[in-house]
Amino acid sequence: MGFQRTKFFSFFLIFFLVVLLMMMIQIPLSGKEIINLPQIEQNDNDLISAIISRKAERQFSGEPIPMEDLAKVLWAGCGIKRTQVDSISHATRTIPSAMGIYPIGVYVFSLRVNDLSPGIYLYLPEKHALQEISGEDVTETLSKITNQRVVQNASLVFVIAFHLEKSSRMNEKFAYLEAGEVVQNISLMAVDCGLGSYVIGSYRPDRIIEVLNQENIEPIVLMAVGKPLP
Ligand SMILES: Cc1cc2nc3c(=O)[nH]c(=O)nc-3n(C[C@H](O)[C@H](O)[C@H](O)COP(=O)(O)O)c2cc1C
């Protein structure tokens, strides 16, 4: 009986050691090889640095930001990079879009932007301009929409919205995908401008539709952008 138990424990120990060895030299138990990829090194590459530095920044200093920074983040989000339409890919913008429909619109709640009155605006990518929608007190409006006090220290808040008049021409799920592209481009460009941002999924869509006075939109997500606290 004692001999049987010793044999069992020896077998178990050897098995355990073999598995440990395989894990140490990274042979997967399925027998398929694992190929290690080259490590990502932080260097002077702006994109790698921006990706590493991006994080949800919720502590804003409350300082105004230059209009140039607003222009850069909006352009990165869904701006026009080329006016000549490529007949194959429709590649005119900073983000890809299914069939070149570009169903996403970006509304700007300006709180503290130099040379731009507080208010609500729509970004017009084709003109690289802002269309004024309302000059009402955005701070008050935002606290009703988001229930998050920290946004009041942001310099601006974007509403990333699906323009529903474009929905009949496309698979609707692509609109959500494209909203994600806009969010990512804005957050990376914000880092490049020395700004912080965070995504806000918790908001009142009915209030946004009311404030923007637009029936034919579906708000997808909000983003607060501003100077981070030092
Ligand atoms: C769709 C979406 C909705 C989010 N909603 C909120 C939100 O309402 N409030 C908030 O403080 N953070 C929100 N976040 C931010 C996440 O909490 C944050 O991205 C996550 O913790 C990962 O941290 P990181 O962005 O710093 O990598 C949201 C993020 C996403 C992608």
Contact 183/199 with Cβ under 8 angstroms? Answer: yes
pLDDT digit string (tens) for 146-175? 988 888 899 999 999 999 999 998 899 999
User: Quick one: tokens of 111?
Assistant: 């709180």
Contact 226/215 with Cβ under 8 angstroms? Answer: no
Q: Look at residue 101 and give its three-state secondary structure.
A: coil
CA of 25 from ligand 1 middle (Å) equals 37
Ligand 1 pocket, residue 154 CB under 6 Å: no
- Between helices 173-192 and 67-78, what is the axis angle to 10°? 150
Output the pLDDT for position 30: 66
Note the Cα 11 to chain centre separation in Å.
Answer: 53
d(CA 128, CA 88): 24
Beta pairing partners, 56: 197
Task: Name the pTM for this structure.
Answer: 0.84
Q: Look at residue 164 and give its three-state secondary structure.
A: helix
Q: Look at residue 182 and give its three-state secondary structure.
A: helix
Output the pLDDT for position 7: 76
Output the pLDDT for position 27: 61
pLDDT digit string (tens) for 15-48? 888 777 766 666 656 678 999 998 988 777 889 9
The single-letter DSSP state of residue 85 is: P
Ligand 1 pocket, residue 56 CB under 6 Å: yes
pLDDT digit string (tens) for 46-69? 899 999 999 999 999 999 999 999
Contact 208/158 with Cβ under 8 angstroms? Answer: no
- Domain 55-226 fold: NADH Oxidase (3.40.109)
CA of 200 from ligand 1 middle (Å) equals 6
d(CA 183, CA 186): 5
Testing ligand 1's pocket by substitution, the residue of 181, 200, 204 carrying the most ligand atoms inside 8 A of its CB is: 200
